[in-house]
């Protein structure tokens, strides 16, 4: 079955180092929490809020060993008034046998406020 795995994180500043390192940390956690291998992945979509333009978050994918052939794309998030600033969102689409309700979506830093209903956002290491 094809499943979407969601994730989001925030950065403190609009710098290439923060965008890439925070995205890499998020991706690695999404991969680990869902036991995903690059061969299972159809593609990954990244979106950023309007206040982030120092780097493409997709660059982080290329820093993870074995993930350099996964198709990636970046886009701007819809600029909804009063939405969470400095936010990077991810939609990873992969083949998995995991039931939809058992997919572990990962929200880190201030992005935990986006989905407080998800159990993973309540873990201590989400911050």
Is residue 89 part of the annotated active site? The answer reads yes
Annotated binding site for prephenate: 6, 89, 107
Question: Which residues of the chain register pLDDT less than 50?
Answer: 127
pLDDT of residue 116: 78
Q: What percentage of residues in the chain have a pLDDT greater than 90?
A: 87
pTM: 0.91
Q: Total structural domains in the chain?
A: 1
Over residues 82-105, the pLDDT tens digits come to 999 999 999 999 999 999 989 999
The residue annotated as part of the active site, out of 17, 74, 87, 119, is: 74
- Residue 68 maps to which CATH number? 3.30.1330.40
Whole domain around residue 58: which residue ranges? 2-126
Return the pLDDT at 70.
Answer: 97
DSSP conformation letters of the chain: -EEEEEEEEE-SS--HHHHHHHHHHHHHHHHHHHT--GGGEEEEEEEE-TT--SS-GGGGGGGSTT-TTS-EEEEEPP--TTPPSSEEEEEEEEE--S-GGG---EE-GGGGGG-TTSGGGGSGGG-
Position 106 scores a pLDDT of: 95
**Among 39, 89, 123, 127, which one carries the catalytic annotation?**
89
| Whole-angstrom distance, CA of residue 63 vs CA of residue 115 | 27
How far apart (Å, rounded) are the C-alpha atoms in residues 17 and 4?
A: 27
Residue 15 corresponds to which tokens in the numbers above? 């710098």
123 catalytic per annotation: no
115 is a catalytic site residue: yes
């Amino acid at each position: 079955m094809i499943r979407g795995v969601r994730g989001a994180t925030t950065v403190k500043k609009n710098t290439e180092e923060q965008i890439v390192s925070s995205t890499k940390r998020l991706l690695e956690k999404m991969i680990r929490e869902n036991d995903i291998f690059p061969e299972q992945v159809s593609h990954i979509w990244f979106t950023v809020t309007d206040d982030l333009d120092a780097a493409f978050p997709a660059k982080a994918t290329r820093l993870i060993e074995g993930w350099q052939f996964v198709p990636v794309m970046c886009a701007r998030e819809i600029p909804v008034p009063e939405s969470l600033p400095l936010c990077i969102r991810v939609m990873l689409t992969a083949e998995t046998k995991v039931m939809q309700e058992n997919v572990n979506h990962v929200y880190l830093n201030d992005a935990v406020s986006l989905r407080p209903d998800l159990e993973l956002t309540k873990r201590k290491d989400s911050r």
